């Protein structure tokens, strides 16, 4: 039995857009919509003239949203229907030149993406820079920064772009059983190395901020495209900053070896000697996952003792690391 993997609708649409761009880039004259329908693979899927018109209008809007300069005009005064083309002079990018520090920053940014969904495009971009002669300096041994976006990022970014409602299971900072949320997404924001979704929570009829690392499973896109629009004047980055500043302050008990873990000692509210060459630190934190980020780099020299949510956050991270190593 032969198994055939059919391309998704999004993949077919992306392929059609690429075919359209190539077609309009390689013509000097203006091409009418009907001529484009004949030349560009993908438009043959439109069953009727009206369906093709809707498809073509959406594609034109997508090109403009991507910043691609789409020209409209006619080849002569006798033409009744307008045509389309992309002028190479407006579409082509200037030569890319990067200073050594800028090139290193690019390489650093590529290595920050930890999710496979974003890592592959970032790597391709780096290879293209290297192909045109841009040298990216290697990072020092052991320095591998990351921005945790999680597997939910691509779906949420798609939901924001398409203006679609999204549903997902979410675990709050206090733990407990995950609950399903239905959200009108307004934006996905990176703040202090963490990714957040900002939008209107339909279940609570209020604006909410969600940490992507607390999402359980893959988000689901529901409803038609264009159903969600971000309200005028809403600053999604400002909402995330306010959320971070207002995060509840909890207290963790962390034991560290004597004379070690200077970074954690600087965060501690107090330090008292413990048995067998250990000290016990009292550290304030607003998020258990972020506390785990601060503790784990010190390896076996630091152990979180309380509260349970902080201990569980460290254990989850260690199990994930063990799975990656395996």
Q: Where are the domains of the chain?
A: 9-91, 95-146, 153-245, 250-325
148 alpha-carbon distance from chain centroid: 9
Q: What is the pLDDT of residue 123?
A: 61
pLDDT, tens digit, 9 for 90 and up, residues 259-282: 889 888 988 888 999 878 899 999
Cβ atoms of 134 and 98 closer than 8 Å: yes
Nearest of 62, 60, 68, 63 to residue 87 by alpha carbon: 68
CA distances, 260 to each of 36, 161, 267, 276, 300 (Å): 68, 47, 13, 14, 11
Q: What is the pLDDT of residue 227?
A: 92
- Please report which helix (H) or strand (E) contains residue 71, including its range: strand 70-73
- Residue 125: pLDDT above 80? no
Band (pLDDT 50/70/90 cuts) for residue 302 is very high
- Taking residues 12-24, report their average pLDDT: 86
Q: What is the pLDDT of residue 4?
A: 39
Q: What is the CATH number of domain 153-245?
A: 2.30.30
Query: CA 239 to CA 231: how far, in whole Å?
Result: 13
Q: What is the pLDDT of residue 214?
A: 85
- Residue 240: pLDDT above 80? yes
- Taking residues 33-43, report their average pLDDT: 89
Domain covering 9-91: architecture = Orthogonal Bundle (1.10)
Q: Is 66 left (phi over 0), alpha (psi -120 to 50) or beta?
A: alpha
Q: What is the pLDDT of residue 274?
A: 86
- Taking residues 37-62, report their average pLDDT: 89
Query: CA 287 to CA 254: how far, in whole Å?
Result: 15
Cβ atoms of 160 and 187 closer than 8 Å: yes
Lowest mean pLDDT among 139-148, 254-263, 300-309: 139-148
15: which 2 tokens? 């392929």
- Residue 47: pLDDT above 60? yes
Q: What is the pLDDT of residue 77?
A: 78
- Taking residues 302-325, report their average pLDDT: 85
- In DSSP notation, 228-257 reads --PPTT--HHHHHHHHHHTSPPEEEEEEEE
- Residue 81: pLDDT above 50? yes
Angle between the N-to-C axes of helices 116-131 and 153-162, in degrees from 0 to 180, rounded to the nearest 10: 80
Q: What is the pLDDT of residue 142?
A: 44
Q: Which residue has the higher pLDDT, 170 or 99?
A: 170
229: which 2 tokens? 């629009």
Rounded CA Rg of the chain: 26
pLDDT, tens digit, 9 for 90 and up, residues 93-117: 666 676 766 766 666 666 555 444 5
Q: What is the pLDDT of residue 143?
A: 46
Average pLDDT, the chain: 80
Please report the sign of the dihedral spanned by the C-alpha atoms of residue 255, residue 258, residue 264, residue 270.
positive
Q: What is the pLDDT of residue 80?
A: 80
Query: CA 230 to CA 212: how far, in whole Å?
Result: 19
Q: What is the pLDDT of residue 326?
A: 56
Band (pLDDT 50/70/90 cuts) for residue 3 is very low
- Phi/psi of residue 100, nearest 5 degrees: -55, -40
130: which 2 tokens? 């290297």
Q: What is the pLDDT of residue 254?
A: 94
Query: CA 291 to CA 304: how far, in whole Å?
Result: 9
Q: 121-129, long-range: CB within 8 Å, 24+ apart, which pairs?
A: 129/96, 129/98, 129/103
Band (pLDDT 50/70/90 cuts) for residue 121 is low
pLDDT, tens digit, 9 for 90 and up, residues 21-32: 888 888 888 999
Q: What is the end-to-end Cα distance of the chain in Å, rounded?
A: 34
The percentage of residues in the chain with a pLDDT greater than 70, rounded to a whole number, is 75
């Amino acid at each position: 039995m032969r198994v055939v993997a059919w391309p998704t609708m999004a993949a077919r649409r992306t392929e059609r857009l690429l075919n359209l761009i190539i077609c309009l880039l390689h013509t000097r004259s203006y091409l009418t919509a009907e001529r484009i329908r004949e030349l560009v693979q993908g438009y043959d899927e439109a069953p009727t003239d009206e369906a093709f018109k809707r498809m073509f209008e959406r594609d034109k809007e997508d090109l403009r949203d991507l910043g691609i300069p789409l020209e409209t005009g006619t080849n002569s005064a006798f033409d009744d229907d307008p045509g389309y083309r992309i002028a190479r002079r407006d579409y082509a990018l200037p030569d890319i030149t990067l200073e050594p520090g800028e090139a290193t920053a690019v390489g650093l940014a590529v290595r920050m993406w930890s999710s496979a969904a974003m890592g592959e495009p970032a790597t391709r971009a780096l290879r293209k820079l290297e192909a045109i002669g841009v040298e990216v300096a290697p990072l020092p041994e052991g320095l591998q920064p990351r921005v945790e976006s999680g597997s939910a990022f691509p779906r949420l970014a798609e939901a924001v772009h398409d203006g679609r409602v999204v549903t997902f299971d979410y675990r709050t900072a206090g733990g407990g059983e995950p609950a399903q949320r239905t959200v009108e997404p307004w934006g996905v924001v990176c703040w202090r190395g963490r990714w957040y979704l900002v939008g209107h929570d339909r279940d609570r009829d209020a604006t909410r901020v969600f940490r992507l690392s607390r999402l359980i499973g893959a988000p689901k896109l529901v409803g038609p495209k264009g159903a969600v629009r971000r309200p005028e004047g809403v600053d999604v980055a400002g909402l995330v900053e306010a959320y971070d500043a207002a995060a509840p302050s909890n207290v963790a008990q962390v034991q560290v070896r004597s004379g070690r873990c200077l970074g954690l000692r600087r965060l501690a509210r107090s330090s008292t000697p413990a048995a067998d060459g250990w000290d016990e630190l009292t550290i304030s934190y607003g998020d258990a996952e972020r506390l785990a980020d601060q503790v784990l780099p010190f390896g076996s020299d630091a152990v979180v003792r309380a509260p349970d949510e902080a201990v569980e956050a460290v254990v989850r991270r260690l199990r994930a690391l063990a799975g990656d190593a395996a």
